[in-house]
Structure 1
Amino acid sequence: MTIQRMDHVGIVVEDLAAAVAFFVELGLVMEGETQVEGRWVDRVVGLPGVRADLAMLRTPDGHGRVELSRFRAPASPAGARHAPPNAPGLRHLTFVVGGIEELLGRLRSHGVELVGAVEQYEDGYRLCYVRGPEGIIVELAEQPE
């Protein structure tokens, strides 16, 4: 059997409202929010006493989704919240956007920081990384017109 499709990317956050607002500003569309708890989720996650709030967002084309999770229990382990872009683990999500400069202006008004600079990659995309809430790094890629 082969993979049929990628369903979604999951990201654990501490401030669900700020993370949702960030992804909505990027252009994702809220599909829904829910709360999960109980033995089934404890078994899936491998932690006892899970209580979590979830938000599912989708890309405008309907082909990609991001699941944001805020765990109310159990407590998260202590550690670095803002890992550098080269830290092992989920490094970034990439979205193709139109009007990268205008989008950056809107995102900055929400406290989003440009990680490096907007750069041209050969004859193709203009690229940049932004750091949003929770230290989430998103790569924005603008195709040439």
Structure 2
Amino acid sequence: MLRAIHHAAIICSDYERSKAFYTQVLGLRIIAENLRAARQSWKLDLALPDGSQIELFSFPNPPKRPSTPEAQGLRHLAFAVDDIDAACARLEGHGVTVEPIRVDEYTGRRFTFFPDPDGLPLELYETLQPAN
């Protein structure tokens, strides 16, 4: 049976820009980077601390995302963080626009959204309760 999410795959429009964003801004570690010459495509495997991965792909002239996050299909990719304030400050320090922090009405946990370089909606979800 299913145990965990192994990876999420993302197709970007500008490989170098997205590579810098995911490695330098988000701090993901590079596992492997491969040029798939037959497809004119790069594949970058990135690791999160829990062992899950993001596969970043480039393709010549990929079509744009068809619509907003409320369209049918995958809505967004969420990252668990211990301290959402620190994570937001880090992103904003890199010039990333972060939405105001909200509180999940069902769990009481804080969360927010920010875009990757192609506008893919990414979420920060605070997994530790803030000290009172």
**CA-to-partner distance for each residue in 1:93-131, whole Å, 9 max, x for gaps?**
1111122122212212333222x4211224531011111
Across the aligned residues of Structure 1 and Structure 2, the Cα RMSD in angstroms comes to: 2.3
Paired residue type of 2:100: A
What is the CA deviation profile of residues 50-99 of structure 1, one whole-angstrom value per residue up to 9, with x for unaligned ones?
Answer: 2101111011121x110000113xx334x4x5842212333211111122
Scaled by the length of structure 2, the TM-score of the pair is 0.80
Equivalent positions of 1:95-110 (< 5 A) are 95-110=79-94
- Determine what percentage of the aligned residue pairs are the same residue: 32
What SS is found at the alignment partner of 1:135? coil
What is the match of residue 28 of structure 1?
A: 28
Q: TM-score, normalised by structure 1?
A: 0.74
> Is 1:69 the counterpart of 2:57 in the alignment?
yes
Match of 1:46 in 2: none
Structure 1 residue 56 and structure 2 residue 45: aligned? Answer: yes
Mark the CA change 1:3 to 1:84 in structure 2 (over 3 Å): closer, same or farther.
same
**SS of match in other structure, 1:133:** coil
Q: SS in structure 2 opposite 1:60? A: coil
2: CA distance, partners of 1:83 / 1:21 = 25
Q: Distance in 1 between matches of 2:66 and 2:109?
A: 27
Provide the C-alpha distance between the structure 2 equivalents of 1:65 and 1:91, rounded to a whole number of angstroms: 18
One-letter amino acid of the counterpart of residue 53, structure 1: W
Q: Which residue of 1 aligns with 2:100?
A: 117
The one-letter code of the counterpart of 1:95 is F
Contact between 2:13 and 2:62, CA under 8 Å: does it hold in 1?
A: no
Query: Larger C-alpha radius of gyration, 1 or 2?
Result: 1
For 2:101 and 2:66, the matched residues in 1 are separated by 21
Shift of 1:36: 0.8
Counterpart amino acid of residue 29 in structure 2: V
The structural deviation recorded for 1:5 is 5.1
For structure 2, list consecutive stretches of 5 or more residues without a partner in the other structure.
Answer: none
SS in 1 for 2:56: strand
